[in-house]
Structure 1
Amino acid sequence: MAKYFDVHPDNPQPRSIGQVVAIVRDGGLVAYPTDSCFALGCQLGNKDGIDRIRQIRHLGDDHHFTLVCRDFAQLGQFVQINNALFRSIKAATPGSYTFILPATKEVPRRLLHPKRKTVGVRIPAHTVAQAILTELGEPLVSSTLLLPGEEEPMTQGWEIKETLDHAIDAVVDSGECGTEPTTVIDFSQGEAEIVRRGAGDPTRFE
């Protein structure tokens, strides 16, 4: 059964955050809120957690997982960014954007797009997500909590707990979450290509 954490949206309780991070470090898979919608997340080297995300969401090998990072310095360890892209991406973070970029050797192979050697990265503007990332000290491997056959992600923590009680290890609930996934910008070829229009305003990249 998944543990349920009712966390304050503006002042997350350190004890609860610590317990969530302990579950992640112990190989757990958690559902947590972001500035766009709920996401599934696990530790970077957690092969079982990544496989469980694939099973829950029925994802193929070509799915771009996202490394959800605390800040720009952390993001820069995992993707290759030139000076022009640096300014463009820095101006849009934190925010509801996911950027697809060439990965560095820090990224496990199983997270990469099999043909393009790219990975998604983002920095959320969400107090609870930031508290988890700060305590963890490394990115969360994440994917939007959108179940097969559904058009919108789940928005209620209790509903996630009810539906995925035996599939995940914890639900972090800080109130109703949005339903619109991030805007996805692919920079892997050097130019901005808008792959998905979502919660972040895409016009700055057009």
Structure 2
Amino acid sequence: MAKYFDVHPDNPQRRTLGTVAELIRSDGLVAYPTDSCFALGCRIGSRDGVARIRSIRQLDDRHHFTLVCRDFAQLGQLVQIDNDVFRALKAATPGSYTFILPATREVPRQLQHPKKKTVGVRIPDHTVAQALLAELGEPILSSTLLLPDEEEPLTQGWEIKERLDHVVDAVVDSGDCGTEPTTVIDFSGGTPEIVRHGAGDPARFA
């Protein structure tokens, strides 16, 4: 049965998020809010967490996982960025964008696209997500909480608890958050390619 944590959206309780962070460190899988809907998250090195996300969402090995980072210091350790791309990303973060870039050696092979050796990264503009990242002290491996055969992601904490009670370890609820997934921009080819139109304005990359 999943633990349910009710967190203040503007002043999240540090002790509560410390408990959530400890669950993640212990290979737990959590549902947590971001600036573009809820996400499933676990620690980067958790094989069990990755397997559970794949099972819940019925994902194949070509799916791009996202490494949710607190800041550019974390992001820069995970992906290869040249100066032009750096400037483009810096101008658009934090925000509702996911960027696909070549992975560094810090990223486990199982998280990389099997052929392209790429991974998704993002820096959310969300108080609770940022506070959780601060408590954890490392990026969170994440995937949008969009269930198979459903067009809309789950947006209510109580409903997530009800429907995923036996497949996640915790639900972090801070009230309303974004209802639209991130805009995904693929920079792995050198120039930006809009892979998915979402919450972030894609015009700056068109």
Structures share a fold, TM > 0.5? yes
1:85 equivalent in structure 2: 85
- Matched residues in 1 for 2:14 and 2:76: separation? 27
1:129-140 → structure 2 map (5 Å cutoff): 129-140=129-140
For 1:145, the aligned partner's letter is: L
How many residue pairs get matched?
A: 206
- Matched residues in 2 for 1:21 and 1:166: separation? 19
1:62-141 → structure 2 map (5 Å cutoff): 62-141=62-141
For 1:5, the aligned partner's letter is: F
- Matched residues in 2 for 1:195 and 1:47: separation? 27
- Matched residues in 1 for 2:80 and 2:58: separation? 29
Shift of 1:87: 0.4
1:185-196 → structure 2 map (5 Å cutoff): 185-196=185-196
For 2:32, the aligned partner's letter is: Y
**Superposition RMSD in Å:** 0.4
SS of alignment partner, residue 84 of structure 1: helix
- Matched residues in 2 for 1:204 and 1:107: separation? 28
1:183 equivalent in structure 2: 183
- Matched residues in 2 for 1:169 and 1:83: separation? 40
1:158 equivalent in structure 2: 158
The question of 1:2 aligning with 2:2 is answered: yes
Runs of 4+ in 1 over 6 A off after TM superposition: none
For 1:33, the aligned partner's letter is: P
SS of alignment partner, residue 31 of structure 1: strand
Q: Provide the identity percentage.
A: 77
- Matched residues in 1 for 2:112 and 2:149: separation? 25
For 2:59, the aligned partner's letter is: L
For 2:185, the aligned partner's letter is: I
- Matched residues in 1 for 2:163 and 2:130: separation? 25
